[in-house]
């Protein structure tokens, strides 16, 4: 039996068709999305059609599911037409609106109610921005959904707003879903849009389906198979990695992300952890940093090296960098919430300032930053004893060893892959009734055990505390 997993990310749509018996990808397709922080959702549908064609069609697929970028705001009128371009997660113009929501209700209210304190990326902040900047559109809103919800709806093809459906993981990133029971908080929706709760209840929100529920059938264009609820991209990657309890995923990309499964909701009013739900009926507390592996790019430029030479220099550097520690908040920071912070280097001494130590400083500072992010997640009562590392930064074996040494947990590196799409395919396979064995688990190509911890983390932690 074949199933399909679709990843509609910020940059592109990927379609994987997998064999449920072997867990192997049998064919795949891809199509790009336009850039920007606002996008016409029709562009996603066009890309989906192109990616499906590139993958050889879905006529032989028993079930499919969509994983998608989170938080994007899609507003529909009574005829199911898109009212305005979708504001994406990376659209920051709602930052003042998010700050206003926090000031009006208080950080504790938001953490207790929905598990996340509003920031610009959350849907609830974008709705407040609409209320304040495009009030003429508020009265036109008949339905509000997220990118993956809209695509799932288009794949089923009924055109009825009542058929909109989502899942717990993506819904939990809106900022108006209760973090305990996954019910909509219409009082919060009304507050964000500056309307009455009675008016808010007239707006159609996607039904929140259970994990691996069959929510409908695909139209003939998409093969006519069963459709699963889909999920947000972070939850999709967790499914694709088959993350176990006690195991974190650490993503080293332009930003850094630490996420872990939990059997209870996490409510963090101060540390920057978002209390998302996962796609299996549990929770997925997640902390995201603004500063990630770009620190390597900065130091390649400063030292006049490429990545390979930076690795060699860092390997030759002194553990602890001769006492130097860097706080890599170059573009402000989200975890912890220090939007106006800048980078800084502490304990500069002449004997420490070698090219090798500066190269190692880039790696140790990133590792310390990710350790701090890990500790923020642990503070929610989550036990983490190991991690899987993904993202472009994971290509450096030197960085992986330094990360293991500073985090003091064993790390696993899975083979490169489209794990959001594979997670969506896993959900589709379960919806189709398939029994999935270990062949669906990711192939681990490298394991790294922690060595002696350098002194950097304790110095970093104290310096970070001085900034808070």
Evaluate if residue 377 carries a pLDDT over 70. Answer: yes
Instruction: Establish if 237 belongs to a structural domain.
Output: no
| Region 27-34 average pLDDT | 97
How far is it, in rounded angstroms, from Cα 161 to Cα 166?
12
What CATH number does residue 178 fall under?
A: 3.30.420.40
The predicted pLDDT at position 468 comes to: 62
**Contact yes or no for 8/66 (Cβ under 8 A):** yes
At residue 308 the predicted structure's pLDDT band, cuts being 50, 70 and 90, is very high
Evaluate if residue 160 carries a pLDDT over 70. Answer: yes
Q: Is residue 164 domain-shared with residue 211, that is, in the same domain? A: yes
Q: Is residue 258 domain-shared with residue 193, that is, in the same domain? A: no
Evaluate if residue 90 carries a pLDDT over 90. Answer: no
Which residues are the active-site residues? 233
| Region 387-412 average pLDDT | 96
At residue 405 the predicted structure's pLDDT band, cuts being 50, 70 and 90, is very high
Mean of all residue pLDDT scores within the chain: 95
Evaluate if residue 67 carries a pLDDT over 90. Answer: yes
How far is it, in rounded angstroms, from Cα 10 to Cα 173?
16
Q: Is residue 222 domain-shared with residue 249, that is, in the same domain? A: no
The predicted pLDDT at position 127 comes to: 98
How far is it, in rounded angstroms, from Cα 436 to Cα 430?
8
Instruction: Establish if 234 belongs to a structural domain.
Output: no
Instruction: Establish if 452 belongs to a structural domain.
Output: yes
Domain that holds residue 116: 2-229
Q: Is residue 221 domain-shared with residue 246, that is, in the same domain? A: no
The predicted pLDDT at position 331 comes to: 86
Whats the size of the chain, residue-wise? 468
Q: Is residue 42 domain-shared with residue 191, that is, in the same domain? A: yes
What's the number of domains the chain is made of?
A: 2
Instruction: Establish if 236 belongs to a structural domain.
Output: no
Chain mean position to CA 44: 18
* pLDDT tens-digit series, residues 231-263: 999 999 999 999 999 999 999 988 899 999 999
Q: What angle (nearest 5°) sits at the alpha carbon of residue 337, between those of residues 145 and 382?
A: 75
Evaluate if residue 344 carries a pLDDT over 70. Answer: yes
Q: Is residue 275 domain-shared with residue 407, that is, in the same domain? A: yes
* pLDDT tens-digit series, residues 72-85: 999 999 999 999 99
Residue 251: Cβ within 10 Å count: 26
Residue 180: Cβ within 10 Å count: 15
| Region 132-150 average pLDDT | 98
The predicted pLDDT at position 465 comes to: 81
Q: Is residue 218 domain-shared with residue 331, that is, in the same domain? A: no
Residue that is last in its domain, among 189, 207, 229: 229
DSSP reduced 3-state for 381: coil
The predicted pLDDT at position 285 comes to: 96
* pLDDT tens-digit series, residues 95-112: 999 999 999 999 999 999
**Contact yes or no for 459/346 (Cβ under 8 A):** yes
pTM: 0.91
The predicted pLDDT at position 333 comes to: 87
Q: Is residue 430 domain-shared with residue 293, that is, in the same domain? A: yes
The predicted pLDDT at position 254 comes to: 82
Evaluate if residue 309 carries a pLDDT over 90. Answer: yes
Q: Is residue 222 domain-shared with residue 246, that is, in the same domain? A: no
The predicted pLDDT at position 272 comes to: 83
């Amino acid at each position: 039996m074949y199933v399909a997993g679709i990843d509609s990310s910020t940059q592109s749509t990927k379609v994987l068709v997998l064999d449920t018996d072997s867990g192997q990808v049998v064919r795949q397709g891809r199509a790009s999305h336009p850039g920007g922080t606002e996008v016409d959702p029709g562009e996603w549908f066009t890309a989906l059609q192109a990616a499906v064609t590139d993958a050889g069609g879905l006529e032989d697929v028993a079930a499919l599911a969509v994983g998608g970028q989170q938080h994007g705001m899609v507003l529909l009128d009574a005829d199911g037409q898109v009212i305005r371009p979708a504001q994406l997660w990376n659209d920051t113009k709602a930052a003042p609106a998010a700050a206003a929501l926090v000031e009006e209700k208080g950080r504790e209210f938001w953490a207790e109610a929905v598990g996340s304190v509003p920031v610009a990326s959350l849907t609830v902040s974008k709705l407040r921005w609409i209320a304040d900047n495009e009030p003429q559109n508020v009265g036109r809103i008949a339905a509000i959904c997220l990118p993956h919800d809209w695509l799932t709806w288009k794949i089923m093809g009924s055109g009825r707003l009542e058929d909109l459906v989502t899942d717990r993981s993506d819904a939990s990133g809106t900022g108006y879903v209760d973090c305990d029971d996954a019910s909509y908080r219409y009082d919060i929706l009304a507050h964000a849009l500056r309307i009455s709760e009675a008016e808010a209840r007239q707006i159609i929100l996607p039904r929140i389906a259970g994990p691996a529920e069959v929510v409908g059938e695909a139209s003939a264009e998409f093969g006519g198979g069963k459709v699963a609820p889909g999920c947000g991209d972070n939850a999709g990657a967790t499914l694709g990695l088959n993350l176990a309890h006690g195991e974190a995923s650490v993503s080293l990309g332009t930003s850094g992300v630490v996420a872990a499964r939990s059997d209870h909701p996490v409510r963090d009013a101060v540390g920057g952890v978002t209390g998302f739900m996962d796609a299996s009926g549990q929770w997925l507390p997640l902390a995201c940093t603004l500063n990630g592996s770009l620190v390597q790019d900065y130091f390649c430029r400063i030292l006049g090296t490429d990545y390979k030479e930076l690795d060699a220099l860092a390997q030759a550097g002194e553990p602890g960098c001769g006492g130097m520690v860097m706080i890599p908040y170059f573009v402000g920071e989200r975890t912890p919430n220090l939007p106006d912070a800048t980078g800084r280097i502490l304990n500069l001494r002449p004997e420490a300032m070698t090219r090798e130590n500066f190269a190692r400083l880039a790696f140790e500072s990133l590792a310390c930053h990710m350790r701090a992010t890990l500790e923020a997640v642990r503070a929610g009562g989550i036990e983490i004893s190991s991690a899987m590392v993904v993202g472009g930064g994971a290509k450096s074996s030197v960085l992986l060893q330094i990360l293991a040494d500073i985090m003091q947990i064993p790390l696993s590196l899975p083979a490169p892959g489209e794990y959001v799409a594979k997670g969506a395919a896993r959900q589709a396979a379960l919806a189709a009734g398939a029994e999935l064995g270990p062949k669906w688990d990711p192939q681990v190509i490298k394991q790294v055990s922690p060595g002696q911890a350098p002194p950097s983390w304790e110095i970093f932690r104290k310096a970070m505390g001085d900034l808070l």
